[in-house]
Amino acid sequence: MSQYWSSLVHRLTPYVPGEQPKLPNLVKLNTNENPYPPSPRAVAAIRDELGENGEFLRLYPDPTGHRLKEAVAAHYAGDGIEPSNVFVGNGSDEVLAHVFQALLKHDAPLLFPDITYSFYPVYCGLYGVDYETVPLDEDFAIRVEDYARPNGGIIFPNPNAPTGRALPLAAIERLLAANAQSVVVIDEAYVDFGGESAIALVNRHANLLVVHTLSKSRSLAGLRVGYAVGHADLIEALERVKDSFNSYPLDRLAIAGAVAAMDDRAHFESTRRAVIASREALNGELRALGFDVLPSAANFVFARHPRHDAARLAAALRERSIIVRHFRQPRIDQFLRITIGTDAQCRELATALRTILANLDAP
């Protein structure tokens, strides 16, 4: 029935999300989900928001998400953030979609790394945004000087995905100063696991927009909440697109849970520190097994073994009900992206890899 498709749909190459397999005794380390539950306060707030017999679900949510904007602004009050600096949406992917339409569609091409979040070229295809990719260096790091060329905007994750490498704020500030005539979007989905947030720079650079998600460090991937922080003029552009698309992107339960999660700093700190500690322990295990592991400031590691094919290792792990992510993409097809799970899951992964490598190395 594809004869009914528009020409745009025929041209699209959709994003491929991480697999959600249904295997017995699964150790799921492929989609960068947090291994720990969300804040108990968030769960309680969601229950309360239902009302008796779910009575509040008959009412529309606040179309502005103002309570959540206030909670985000309060979290970053030390950086001078006000609710007028905050935009909220149905996951950071929706926020990014509005960013591409509102701020990144210009005559000059959008710039982003050649190895990065694979939704960026998908959005470019969907919204007709011209783009150019900028190669990472030989160590898979972003060089800000490579972006000193005409552009209609710049976007990249920091830490980058899937590499996990992070740029320091000083490098981001150099990039902002060198590109003052275009918007620079920093996608900080993983920043809470060891990076430095560029939100601290928002009030010094009107061309900076920082995008966050509550899916990772606040364990709310199933709730779908994201936000952006930037100059009020950038936020207004996003609001105009949102109100031309869907005035109610966040439901009542999502707003209530997200507000409580933002307010519960103790739970946020304890779980993110646990993930960081597990990541460093897993790094040591992988290096002891002969893997090359890139420096990571995210809740995953990006690793390759110099003697063994990554696809073969991923398949062998899958036979043991351990799922990691393998990208069949030039330059990184020998890497595995491994989500940081609980300590028990990381030990199970390391034990499985030790057995797999011993079998492969056996004469």
Q: Could you report the per-residue pLDDT of 256-313, keeping only the tens digit for each?
A: 999 999 999 999 999 999 999 999 999 999 999 999 999 999 999 999 999 999 999 9
- Does residue 308 share a domain with residue 165? no
Reported as a single tens digit per residue, the pLDDT across 243-267 is 999 999 999 999 999 999 999 999 9
Q: Looking at the predicted structure, is the pLDDT value of residue 363 above 90?
A: no
pLDDT digits (tens, 9 = 90+) for 40-99: 999 999 999 988 888 889 999 999 999 999 999 999 999 999 999 999 999 999 999 999
- Domain final position from 264, 297, 323: 264
Q: Tell me, yes or no, whether 143 and 27 share the same domain.
A: no
Enumerate residues 6+ apart whose C-beta is below 8 A from 283. Answer: 293, 296, 301
**Whole-number pLDDT of residue 102:** 97
| The amino acid at 260 | A
Average pLDDT, the chain: 96
Question: What is residue 1's predicted lDDT score, i.e. its pLDDT?
Answer: 61
Same domain assignment for residues 252 and 273 = no
Taking alpha carbons only, the member of 53, 50, 78, 102 closest to residue 252 is 50
Same domain, 194 and 295: no
- Say if residue 315 is in the same domain as residue 353: yes
Structural tokens at position 7: 């020409």
Domain count, the chain: 2
What are the structure tokens assigned to 214, written together? 């509550």
Residues 256 and 313 both lie in one domain: no
Distance CA 163, CA 32 (A): 13
pLDDT value at residue 15: 80
The boundaries of the domain holding residue 273 are 2-38+266-361
d(CA 332, CA 276): 24
249 & 308 share domain: no
Same domain, 258 and 294: no
| Best CA proximity match to 80, nearest among 231, 188, 238 | 231
Overall average pLDDT of the 118-145 stretch: 96
Residue count (the chain): 363
Residues 102 and 219 both lie in one domain: yes
Check whether residue 57 and residue 172 sit in a common domain.
yes
User: pLDDT tens, 174-232?
Assistant: 999 999 999 999 999 999 999 999 999 999 999 999 999 999 999 999 999 999 999 99
CATH number at residue 86: 3.40.640.10
SS3 293: strand
Separation between Cα atoms, residue 117 and residue 177, nearest integer Å: 24
Q: Are 72 and 84 contacting, i.e. CB atoms less than 8 angstroms apart?
A: no
